[in-house]
């Protein structure tokens, strides 16, 4: 079975779940980035939970921890290639995987697209989540990591719609 049913009993393709998570991850992350860019100045921090959680506005011209910040072409080409590869793999394997595969793939690809959009349009990625003394990141990064976790769970534990039944 590769279909889900909505409340009225009509069948919905499982890829619908993938697209919902893909679009939601892009929209949520980009909405927050627009808010941060328009309402905060670079380097500003707003304390949400004193001493632990802050919104801090940074522009990251590299990848994690500003690594490779002087290599813009690479930072656009590699994520683009990974997004294409992940998308092809998703559509080739989706029928034999569980729903966590749809959700995880949607989150990974959506988060990757959100950060790639920033890199292409702004030449940097807007980061804003500041927890403790950890690096500052954004929700697209969180979506990518949650997606990877769900994909790992799917490959380890679920096959052939076991998690849909």
Which pLDDT tens digit goes with each residue over 64-77?
655 666 677 788 88
Give me the number of domains the chain comprises: 1
Residue 7 placed within a domain = no
Which residue pairs, CB below 8 angstroms and at least 24 apart, start in 62-69?
A: 64/135, 65/135
Residue 45 placed within a domain = yes
The residue to which tokens 């790992």 are assigned:
152
What span, in angstroms and rounded, lies between the C-alpha atoms of 59 and 16? Answer: 33
Instruction: Work out the pLDDT band at 82, boundaries 50, 70, 90.
Output: very high
Length of the chain: 165
Q: Tell me, what DSSP letter sits at residue 132?
A: T
Sequence-ordered list of residues with C-beta below 8 angstroms from that of 77, at least 6 positions apart, any chain: none
Residue 70 placed within a domain = yes
Domain that holds residue 110: 37-154
How do residues 119-131 score in pLDDT, each as one tens digit?
A: 999 989 999 999 9
What span, in angstroms and rounded, lies between the C-alpha atoms of 161 and 130? Answer: 37
Give the Cβ contact number of residue 40 at 10 Å: 16
**What sign does the dihedral 64-85-73-116 (CA atoms) show?**
negative
Residue 145 placed within a domain = yes
Give yes or no: 141 in active site. Answer: yes
CA distances from 19 to 15, 26, 27, 29, 115 (A): 6, 11, 12, 15, 17
Residue 67 placed within a domain = yes
In the chain, the percentage of residues whose pLDDT exceeds 70 is: 83
Catalytic choice (29, 102, 127, 130): 127
Give yes or no: 127 in active site. Answer: yes
Catalytic choice (102, 118, 130, 141): 141
Angle of CA points 154, 155, 161, to nearest 5°? 50
Residue 134 placed within a domain = yes
Residue 25 placed within a domain = no
Instruction: Work out the pLDDT band at 108, boundaries 50, 70, 90.
Output: very high
Residue 96 placed within a domain = yes
């Amino acid at each position: 079975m590769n279909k889900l049913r909505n409340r009225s009993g009509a069948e919905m393709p499982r890829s619908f779940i993938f697209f919902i998570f893909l679009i939601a991850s892009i929209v949520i992350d980009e909405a927050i980035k627009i808010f941060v860019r328009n309402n905060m100045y670079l380097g500003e921090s707003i304390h949400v939970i004193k001493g632990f959680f802050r919104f801090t506005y940074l522009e990251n011209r590299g990848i994690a921890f500003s690594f490779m910040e002087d290599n813009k072409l690479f930072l656009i080409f590699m994520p683009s290639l990974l997004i294409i590869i992940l998308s092809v793999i998703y559509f080739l394997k989706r029928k034999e995987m569980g729903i966590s595969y749809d959700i995880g793939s949607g989150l990974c690809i959506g988060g990757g697209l959100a950060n790639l959009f920033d890199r292409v349009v702004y030449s940097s990625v807007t980061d804003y989540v500041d927890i403790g003394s950890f690096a500052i990141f954004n929700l697209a990064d969180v979506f990518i990591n949650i997606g990877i976790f769900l994909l790992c769970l799917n490959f380890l534990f679920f096959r052939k719609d076991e998690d849909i039944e």
